[in-house]
Amino acid sequence: MFESRITQRVRYAETDRMGVVYYANYLVWFEIGRNEYFRGRDLPYADVEARGYFLPVSEVRCRILQPARFDDEVTVRTTLAEIKSRSLKLAYRIERAGELLAQGETVHVCVNGDQKVTRIPEWMKIKLTL
Amino acid sequence: MFESRITQRVRYAETDRMGVVYYANYLVWFEIGRNEYFRGRDLPYADVEARGYFLPVSEVRCRILQPARFDDEVTVRTTLAEIKSRSLKLAYRIERAGELLAQGETVHVCVNGDQKVTRIPEWMKIKLTL
Amino acid sequence: MFESRITQRVRYAETDRMGVVYYANYLVWFEIGRNEYFRGRDLPYADVEARGYFLPVSEVRCRILQPARFDDEVTVRTTLAEIKSRSLKLAYRIERAGELLAQGETVHVCVNGDQKVTRIPEWMKIKLTL
Amino acid sequence: MFESRITQRVRYAETDRMGVVYYANYLVWFEIGRNEYFRGRDLPYADVEARGYFLPVSEVRCRILQPARFDDEVTVRTTLAEIKSRSLKLAYRIERAGELLAQGETVHVCVNGDQKVTRIPEWMKIKLTL
């Protein structure tokens, strides 16, 4: 099963006054992982939108096990957990030097330019699952 | 059961190029609901930290049903869903003119100034559940 | 001269590990002040865009005199500092209990739906300066 | 004169409903440039804070010439524009494929752990200007 990996440093902007990363930022990192997953499948997400499809998040779950801190190098590992006719689920693991910091999932529905839920087109399915 | 409510307008900063609110911002709104819940229980969260306790998020779940848009007035309704010896769970509903846009939960562990998990002190329990 | 005022509480999300508000968030508060200014001139900014005009920021300046902190109630006072044929400048003061925390300005160019710089239409000028 | 460079992709989270990067995010990218500058001077900013010094922003200026868009690769070029006894100024250029998108400056005051303005210590000056 294909898994993408991308590493980045924690920004000061992403921390809060507890001295650790503010929890909503894990979802931003999921997005970074997602973008990398799509790119790794040879389908940059910008191309999906250029073709008139959008994948808004309908559900997200995140567990935080260990806090990330400023300047940490964190890696986002992303896999496709499920793909249905109109939605898909991605799974994420956020690690620092091999230690699992957080994990989670996002569910996305496929919508067209009129913001109507629609079937995931074949070309997208093929790219994402090949 | 006590429920807090707080209303705010969607910021331009909170939207993304899909024209709707970026999904991680629902978690920021959960935080606003949480702060209001604590304030409504006569225990502003800043006071919790001033007393040496912190409530970092260990888990979050969010379902987005309808997108919020720039300048919408959205209301966050917050309740205490569960309180255990070392953790608590809050539940949120985000509404616009009575329509449910999103709902979710956060689980928080109680940690002390040394960032060790600790029992929720009695005064906090009493305030939050009275 | 018309001045709008709007007050809000500092979000935990807006703080950083220095324990104070992260500097980029002052610009987000400028946006809140700006929205309130437009609303106070009976021209909500969403209506400007609905009519096919946009006012992206071309320049911003901000001086931070005192740090804002979590849960502070901060007030954004906004005035129109200048209006030219194709651009306008807004000025902001951010205060806490009357104490000036930050001040700044944003310059906006008027662009149309094709993202071409264009003249500020009369109806906008009238609303903003009446 | 030393100049650091760091390249990153624009996040979806950084865009707004105008379809371009929200203006406050340029300041976040300045921070990324700043961190890279310090790292390139062999003085990671986290080490500055570990030694009990902080460099909060007292002033920022940013001009946006061309909008950055989702998934663009943008490069932040950072130089030290000025160093005084208690403050320093950094200058930034944000580019996409050699095209200047934005430029700006931040002024930082040196404060100690008690949040008092203090002289920039010699070791910091030496590292930053060598």
pLDDT in tens, C65-118: 999 999 999 999 999 999 999 999 999 999 999 999 999 999 999 999 898 999
The number of domains in chain D is: 1
**In C, which residues are within 8 Å of D67 by CB distance?**
56
Spatial neighbors of C74 by CB under 8 A, at least 6 apart, are: C7, C8, C9, C10, C29, C68, C94, C95, C96, C101
Collect the ranges in chain B with pLDDT lower than 70.
none
Model confidence band, residue C124 (pLDDT cutoffs 50, 70, 90): very high
Q: Which of A4, A9, A34, A108 to mutate to test the interface with D (most CBs of D within 10 A)?
A: A9
* Contact flag A12-D70 (C-beta cutoff 8 Å): no
Spatial neighbors of D45 by CB under 8 A, at least 6 apart, are: A12, A71, D34, D35, D38, D39, D55
Per-residue pLDDT of D87-125, as tens digits, reads 999 999 999 999 999 999 999 999 999 989 999 999 999
pLDDT recorded at residue A128: 96
* Contact flag D23-C56 (C-beta cutoff 8 Å): yes
* Contact flag C28-D24 (C-beta cutoff 8 Å): yes
CATH label of the domain that carries residue C21: 3.10.129.10
Residue C74: which domain range? 3-129
pLDDT recorded at residue C57: 98
Model confidence band, residue A115 (pLDDT cutoffs 50, 70, 90): confident
B11 touches chain C (CB under 8 A): yes
**In A, which residues are within 8 Å of D9 by CB distance?**
35
Q: Please tell me the pTM assigned to this model.
A: 0.98
Answer yes or no: are the C-beta atoms of B104 and B87 closer than 8 Å. Answer: no
H/E element holding D79? strand D73-83
Answer yes or no: are the C-beta atoms of C91 and C71 closer than 8 Å. Answer: no
CA distance A128 to A3: 11
Q: Which of B124, C31, A71, B121 is nearest to D25 (CA)?
A: C31
CA distance C87 to chain A (A): 30
D54 touches chain C (CB under 8 A): yes
pLDDT(C36) > 90: yes
